């Protein structure tokens, strides 16, 4: 029997809300199946299962917010007997704790004239918000101190009095009146601005980036790379294709980055438990800006093993699903390094912030025509500036420089990508 837990969908996630189960007890599940939906600050994410088996028990029902690591369900292997007893208590559910009503105390007399009222700061603030006259409130706290519960009780009584029905006065005798002027049309109701639904995402990004700047000793390197050969090859290659099958320059950058990581694997991994944990799979997190604001970096899996056509399909797919809010948990948890490209905005150089627990980020700026000297000859070339943000705990500038050189070599032979 194995435990299916609330996954961590990024370093900035502490808890998630279980929106819906896609399966029920007794259903067979296969690795990669979407079995639940979880809401985070980044939106509603499809959660996949990472093993084959049968869903034995559901321990957390929908609409509950629970911490990362909470056991959500039990999955048994095929042929394994059904669990008879419930497992040990799962992590606590994050629900509002009901306020314990203070037992009613004997009312104390209000302050005598000239005597200072004892009022807690929170009660004073709340009284101002609710329009409660503190001189009419009897405190039940120590030494007659007026506390929040006293103000709330007084506000409720005041509200109840206002809401009491009043006896209707007898109707006045009829009088002759002039014809009424048609009333002016009511003023249009202006809808209040909706709450910024991206606020949660901005808070999540702020938390992750604050942690990155606080905990990760960054070093930065940059290199100008001549893309003239790569772009000529790409232009010739696209002439052979239909418009929908053409490749974008960023696909060359993704593949070259993945190949360079094969040569310098220390940049492809995580810093966990005070040590570098290199990862075998090269899953490049591709930074995608949302139209409504915010940033998500879903993974392009095994980028070093895929053809340029496969990478183009993957990139289009994750962009479409990201902007449609259809990401899966593996999209957000599997990235081993992040790549960001801001060249389409005219940015010349990108100095990124590493997304923990990753140990590196690669940035690409605008591809532009620049002077270039080669073999003592001056010419104009199509050049891009590549930058590397590295975690100095995992690597140093020498190893980072080797990565940029390997990246340059890959882009000089585009036909081999």
Percent helix, strand, coil in the chain (nearest 5)?
30, 25, 45
Residue (of 211, 337, 351) closest to 276 by Cα position: 337
Length of the chain: 417
10: left (phi over 0), alpha (psi -120 to 50) or beta: left
Please, are residues 389 and 353 in contact by the beta-carbon 8 Å criterion? yes
Please report, for the chain, how many H helices and E strands are present, in that order: 8, 19
Instruction: Report helix, strand or coil for 258.
Output: helix
Strands 377-391 and 218-226: antiparallel
In whole angstroms, give the CA distance from residue 360 to residue 354: 6
Instruction: Report helix, strand or coil for 226.
Output: strand
In whole angstroms, give the CA distance from residue 330 to residue 63: 22
Residue in 143, 218, 301, 392 annotated catalytic: 392
Please, are residues 147 and 141 in contact by the beta-carbon 8 Å criterion? yes
In whole angstroms, give the CA distance from residue 296 to residue 349: 20
Largest CA distance in the chain: 109
- For residue 23, the 8-state DSSP code is S
Residue (of 152, 156, 112, 157) closest to 135 by Cα position: 112
CB atoms within 10 A of CB 359: 26
- For residue 280, the 8-state DSSP code is S
Q: Which residues pair with 379 in a beta bridge?
A: 372
Instruction: Report helix, strand or coil for 9.
Output: coil
- For residue 358, the 8-state DSSP code is B
In whole angstroms, give the CA distance from residue 309 to residue 72: 38
Tokens of residue 209, six digits: 């980036």
Let me know if 392 is a catalytic residue.
yes
In whole angstroms, give the CA distance from residue 396 to residue 360: 11
- For residue 142, the 8-state DSSP code is G
Catalogue the active-site residues.
Answer: 392
């Amino acid at each position: 029997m194995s435990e299916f837990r609330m996954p961590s969908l990024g370093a900035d996630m502490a808890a998630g809300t279980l929106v819906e189960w896609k399966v029920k007890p007794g259903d067979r599940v296969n690795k990669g199946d979407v079995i639940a939906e979880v809401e985070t600050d980044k939106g509603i994410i499809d959660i996949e299962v990472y093993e084959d088996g049968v869903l034995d028990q559901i321990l957390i029902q929908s609409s509950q917010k629970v911490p990362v690591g909470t056991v959500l369900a039990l999955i048994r292997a095929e042929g394994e007997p059904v669990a008879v007893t419930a497992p040990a208590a799962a992590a606590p559910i994050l629900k509002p704790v009901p306020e314990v009503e203070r037992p009613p105390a004997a009312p104390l007399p209000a302050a005598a004239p000239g005597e200072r009222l004892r009022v807690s700061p929170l009660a004073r603030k709340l009284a101002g918000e609710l329009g409660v006259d503190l001189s009419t409130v009897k405190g039940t706290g120590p030494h007659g101190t007026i506390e929040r519960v006293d103000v709330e009780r007084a506000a409720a009584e005041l509200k109840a009095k206002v809401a009491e029905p009043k006896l209707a006065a007898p109707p006045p005798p009829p009088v002759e009146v002039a014809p009424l002027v048609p009333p002016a049309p009511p003023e249009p109701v202006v809808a209040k601005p909706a709450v910024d639904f991206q606020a949660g995402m901005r808070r999540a990004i702020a938390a992750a980036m604050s942690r990155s700047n606080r905990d990760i000793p960054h070093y930065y390197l940059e290199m100008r790379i001549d893309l003239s050969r790569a772009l000529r090859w790409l232009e010739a290659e696209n002439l052979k294709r239909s418009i929908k099958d053409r490749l974008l320059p960023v696909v060359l950058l993704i593949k070259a980055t993945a190949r360079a990581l094969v040569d310098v694997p220390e940049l492809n991994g995580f810093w966990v438990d005070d040590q570098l944990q290199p990862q075998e799979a090269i899953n490049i997190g591709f930074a995608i800006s949302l139209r409504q604001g915010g940033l998500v970096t879903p993974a392009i899996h095994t980028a070093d093993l895929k053809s340029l056509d496969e990478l183009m399909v993957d990139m289009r797919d994750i962009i479409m699903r990201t902007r449609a809010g259809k990401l899966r948990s593996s999209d957000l948890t599997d990235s081993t390094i992040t790549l960001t490209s801001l060249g389409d905005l005219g940015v010349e150089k990108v100095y990124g912030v590493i997304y923990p627990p990753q140990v590196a980020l690669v940035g690409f700026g605008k591809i532009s025509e620049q002077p270039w000297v080669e073999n003592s000859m001056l010419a104009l070339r199509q050049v891009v500036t590549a930058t590397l943000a590295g975690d100095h705990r995992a690597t140093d500038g020498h190893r980072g420089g080797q990565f940029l050189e390997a990246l340059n070599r890959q882009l000089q032979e585009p036909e081999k990508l």
